[in-house]
Amino acid sequence: MSHILVLGGTTEASALVASLAERGLTATLSYAGRVERPKAQPVPVRIGGFGGIEGLERYLREHRVTHLVDATHPFAATMSAHALAAAQNTATPHIRLTRPPWQPARGDRWQHAADIEAAVSALAGPPRRVMLALGRMHVNAFAVQGQHHYLLRFVDRPEQTPALPDHHLVVDRGPFTAEADTRLLRDHAIDLIVCKNAGGTGAEAKLIAARRLGVPVLMIDRPAPARGKAVHHPGEVLRWLGHAADLGV
Ligand SMILES: NC(=O)c1ccc[n+]([C@@H]2O[C@H](COP(=O)([O-])OP(=O)(O)OC[C@H]3O[C@@H](n4cnc5c(N)ncnc54)[C@H](OP(=O)(O)O)[C@@H]3O)[C@@H](O)[C@H]2O)c1
């Protein structure tokens, strides 16, 4: 009997567990617990950290996990490293499901930053109107560049007001459309977008809107990917599971 543990928090993870459920496969979806009301899922969900690599190893053994699918966000580097290590230590077959990164298209005006810290430094200079398209965990780092007006968009209303002296907060959950994001950038007279190279379609609308309006983008590049087998589409995970016939899938 197989038991597939999917580390989620992404649209790809949700798409994958929907396919697993359709096929009647036993799967559990794991969330870190960052979002207040995660959407309903067709498989059992567990929420919260495992307690490092050892905690994940314990979970894999106790729940007789036969396959570990790391479908976390490309910037969730700690979880991905833990997943790979725990899989290796417990000899659990492991695969990473990750979106291809966005590539600049004709008309894009991208500048690159290696990480959040580099993006903060790149914002030194005169006041601008910046859409900070980052999760609430990272926005306070930009308080040192308090000369700018910041437009923020979070999935949930934060318990604490962001530490940015001049900001406007929109609470909204994707996927977003290019039309709506074009309106948003226009309405707030945004002249720079700061975002992570998440890839995928759910958050791409702001880039299409930026291209249309000629707004520059400060793109935070991805951390180095964890080693191991990686694929880009849920269907490839299903094929990988299908090949693992000796494990009962
Ligand atoms: N980073 C982003 O930009 C971003 C964007 C959208 C969604 N997300 C999603 O948000 C979650 C957290 O991302 P992060 O960047 O904070 O992760 P991270 O820095 O790589 O992970 C920090 C810790 O959070 C716990 N954790 C992370 N993902 C988990 C999961 N799916 N299930 C159970 N525990 C998890 C683990 O705790 P223990 O060590 O205790 O196991 C991990 O060591 C992930 O599920 C990710 O897919 C992240």
**Ligand 1 geometric centre to CA of 79 (Å):** 6
Ligand 1 centre and the CA of 9: distance in Å?
8
Q: How far apart are CA 218 and CA 201, in angstroms?
A: 18
Pocket test for ligand 1, best of 35, 45, 73, 80 (most atoms within 8 A of CB): 73
4-7 vs 110-113, strand pairing mode:
unpaired
Sequential DSSP letters for 86-148 = HHHHHT--EEEE-PPPP---TT--EEEESSHHHHHHHT-SS--EEEEES-HHHHGGGGGGTTS
pLDDT band at 43 (very low <50, low <70, confident <90, very high): very high
Taking phi first (over 0 means left), then psi (-120 to 50 degrees means alpha), and beta for anything else, what does residue 48 get?
Answer: left
Distance CA 150, CA 146 (A): 9
Q: Does residue 241 register a pLDDT over 60?
A: yes
How many angstroms separate the alpha carbon of residue 8 from the centre of ligand 1?
A: 8
Q: Is the pLDDT of residue 244 over 80?
A: no
pLDDT recorded at residue 248: 41
pLDDT for the residue numbered 243: 57
Q: Which of 79, 155, 197 to mutate to test the pocket of ligand 1 (most atoms within 8 A of CB)?
A: 79
**Does residue 175 have a cis peptide bond before it, meaning omega lies within 30 degrees of 0?**
yes
Ligand 1 is surrounded, with C-beta below 6 A, by 7-10, 30-32, 34, 49-52, 55-56, 72-73, 75-79, 82, 135, 196
In angstroms, what is the span from residue 132 Cα to ligand 1's centroid?
20
Does position 102 have pLDDT exceeding 60, yes or no?
yes
pLDDT mean over 156-185: 94
How far apart CA 180 and CA 212 sit, in angstroms, is 12
Distance 72 CA to ligand 1 centre (A): 7
**Which atom number of ligand 1 is nearest to the Cα of residue 56?**
41
Share of residues in the chain with pLDDT > 70 (%) = 97
**Strands of the 67-70 sheet, one edge to the other:** 45-47, 27-31, 4-7, 67-70, 94-97, 230-231
Reference 95, options 75, 52, 54, 65; nearest CA is: 65
Looking at ligand 1, which atom is closest to the CA of residue 51?
A: 40
CA distance 113 to 35: 26
Opening angle at CA 25, ends 8 and 39, nearest 5: 35
| Average predicted confidence (pLDDT) for the chain | 94
pLDDT of amino acid 174: 79
Distance, CA 212 to ligand 1 centroid (Å)? 33
**pLDDT score of 245:** 38
Contact residues for 64 (Cβ-Cβ < 8 A; gap 6+): 1, 3
Percent above pLDDT 90 for the chain: 87
Which tens digit of pLDDT belongs to each residue from 173-201?
A: 878 999 999 999 999 999 999 999 999 88
pLDDT at 247 over 70: no
Q: How far apart are the CA of 61 and the centre of ligand 1, in A? A: 21
Three-state SS for 28? Answer: strand
Q: What is the residue with the minimal CA distance to atom 16 of ligand 1?
A: 76
- Structure confidence at residue 246 (pLDDT): 40
Give residue 226's pLDDT band: very low, low, confident or very high (50, 70, 90).
Answer: confident
